[in-house]
Structure 1
Amino acid sequence: MYFKSQSKFSKKEVANYYDCCQKYCNLLWADKESRSYHYGYWYRDTKSKEEANLNPYREIIKYLKPKKGELILDAGCGTGGASIWLSKNTKANFVGITLSNKQLKLAKRYSDKEQASDKIRFYQKDYFKTNFPRNKFDKIFAIESFCYGFPNTKDLFKEMYRILKKNGTLIMIDGVLLRKPSNKYEEKLAQGFLRGWRLSGGYTKDEIIDFFKKAGFKNVKFINKTDNIKKNLNKVYLMGRFLYLLLKPLKSIKAVPEIEFENTITMINQKKLVEIGILGHGMFYAKK
């Protein structure tokens, strides 16, 4: 039941999106502790956006159980926020990979600033073809990065299986397709959402679980976190409305790149897609 974008975006286009729109993430969303560009999870005792942004990292600790001497891969690390925080709050060592050269430079700068460089290494790599040796990592996690694997996600899971050690754990935190658009309005919302973040498509929970299993993973579990992102979802929506009004006149005179304006449409549409039951969010974990 997968849903695909009208455009298939290349890895270069995905990297360019992050290079172009990084400044908005830094200005409007990321905080100094989490350096998160993700939705974050709100629970009953969560008191702030900053705390919500840290909650996915706490989930990773809960399910990965990082130990001293272990090497853990952050597959799609962005500017390194998760790896840096986890390196300071666990005894494990981390490797982060990203397509974006700009994100790579920021990740290295932030890890130096936080005095975490001795426990982390960052690389510009494609997670479909990492060139890491077999069985290199004790554990792997990915926060809202595997969504860029479409339509070759099955090959991505094969690569993660190859580089993960026996009995290792893979955690994937990401959006999921709950149903396909059923009319022109929903189709327009979904296409705008995908285009703005340079996503080529999306899969359902069951399709993703099938990718895990076909790659060789076992004991695959899914935890629905859609309700836990809704508060931050609304914050992203409001920021999107603000940026839309700010950038629209600038776009008309070509003072900003098209990609920056399209990003605001995604920020608006994602809330609507969750509200009408097309888009969800959750956490998958499985063992090799």
Structure 2
Amino acid sequence: MTSSAAGVDLIGSIIRYYDHTHFDYSSLWAHRSDPAFHYGYYDEQCRHHRRAVANANATLANFAAVKQGDIVLDAGCGRGGSCFWLAEKLGARPVGVNLVTSQLVYARKEADRRGLSGRTEFRRADYTKTPFEASSFDVVWALESLCHSPRKVDFYSEACRLLRPGGRLVIAEYMVTEIDMLPADQKLVADWLSGWSIPSLDTETQHKENADSMGFERIEVHDWTNRMRRSSLRLYCLARICHWLSFILNKAGLRSDVAHGNLLSARYQYEALQKRLWQYKILVAQKPGGTGRVL
């Protein structure tokens, strides 16, 4: 298979994944007030799921120093949850890109419902090769979306091109631990990633090297693993509760292999986390130039 054919196949896999798991995420994880699918950030003030999910946006925005009027590229925007939060809470001007048409349709309708159509924009595009002109954004934001790229360095290259001098990059991502895994551990991680249509994960070192190779400065990595662990456990518990119903429906042909695989991976991700095979980390960096230090 050629690299271009493999890329098309991966894109198709990602689209099928989100189309087939929409019901699960919508009914068990997301909420109308915040249609996000990502993990939550728990702290002393945010001890419940819905608030923790919103708190992830607030904490990321603080790291990236997002302010009113900033043009923010949400790379892999899902159903628009972060875009809505950035527009409503901070007065930013987010532009979301995504390859999943059904999610873009939802995001545009939700923007209309919230009165945000003039302050948000949603485009179908690959975040490693967008249609935007160079130096178009103040912030590039990627919340649990970079994992779907087979070559993470391509994202860093495009992010650097799109950012204005002094612009900020912020990424929240799953990063594999830099250890030699036993074959059983390798299989556990591979099974988890396969069920979520993730081709591979990079280590913290690889992410930092990618950012550095593209010329980013002030590269920092923050470990959020303990802050999101309750989200990981919640996902695991939901998967355990729903397992047999999902299994029966799948065998009866009433639930797709993709949807059932997603449920299995919700178990595997926590099992792998407990074995310290991966961590949840935030990378922030700044493009050289501008009027001074922001981060």
- Identify the TM-score tier after normalising by the shorter chain: over 0.9
Structure 1, residues 34-59: CA drift from partner, whole Å, max 9, x if none? Answer: 22211111112223111100111111
Partner of 2:31: 31
**Structure 2 vs 1, CA of residues 14 and 77 (structure 1 numbering), >3 Å: closer, same or farther?**
same
Partner of 1:95: 95
Partner of 2:189: 190
Amino acid at match of 1:26: S
Amino acid at match of 1:135: S
Within 5 Å, which residues of 2 pair with 1:132-211? 132-150=132-150, 152-179=151-178, 182-211=181-210
Amino acid at match of 2:282: M
Amino acid at match of 2:91: K
Partner of 2:131: 131
Structure 1, residues 199-236: CA drift from partner, whole Å, max 9, x if none? Answer: 11111111111111111111100000000111111110
1:84–1:120 CA contact under 8 A, matched in 2: yes
Amino acid at match of 2:280: H
TM-score scaled by length of structure 1 = 0.93
Shift of 1:181: 6.3
Shift of 1:118: 1.3
Partner of 2:42: 42
1:142–1:171 CA contact under 8 A, matched in 2: yes
Establish whether residue 253 from structure 1 lines up as the match of residue 252 from structure 2: yes
Partner of 2:293: none
Between the aligned partners of 2:62 and 2:85, the Cα distance in structure 1 is 14
Partner of 1:106: 106
Alignment root-mean-square deviation, CA = 1.5
Higher deviation after alignment, 61-70 or 141-150? 61-70
Between the aligned partners of 2:197 and 2:163, the Cα distance in structure 1 is 28
Pairs aligned (count): 281
Shift of 1:91: 2.0
1:218–1:287 CA contact under 8 A, matched in 2: yes
Shift of 1:183: 2.7
Between the aligned partners of 1:233 and 1:59, the Cα distance in structure 2 is 18
Identical-pair percentage: 24
Structure 1 unaligned regions, length at least 5: 1-6
Structure 1, residues 226-280: CA drift from partner, whole Å, max 9, x if none? Answer: 0011111111001111232111122223322211111111100111111001011
Between the aligned partners of 2:10 and 2:156, the Cα distance in structure 1 is 19
Between the aligned partners of 1:180 and 1:260, the Cα distance in structure 2 is 31
Partner of 1:12: 12
1:33–1:85 CA contact under 8 A, matched in 2: no
Shift of 1:70: 2.3
**Structure 2 vs 1, CA of residues 64 and 184 (structure 1 numbering), >3 Å: closer, same or farther?**
closer
1:181–1:278 CA contact under 8 A, matched in 2: no
Amino acid at match of 2:229: K
1:66–1:91 CA contact under 8 A, matched in 2: no
Structure 1, residues 134-192: CA drift from partner, whole Å, max 9, x if none? Answer: 11111111100001112x11111101111111100000011110145633432331121
Structure 2 unaligned regions, length at least 5: 1-5, 288-295
Amino acid at match of 1:186: D
TM-score scaled by length of structure 2 = 0.91
Between the aligned partners of 2:195 and 2:12, the Cα distance in structure 1 is 15
Secondary structure of the corresponding residue to residue 118 of structure 2: helix
Between the aligned partners of 2:263 and 2:275, the Cα distance in structure 1 is 19
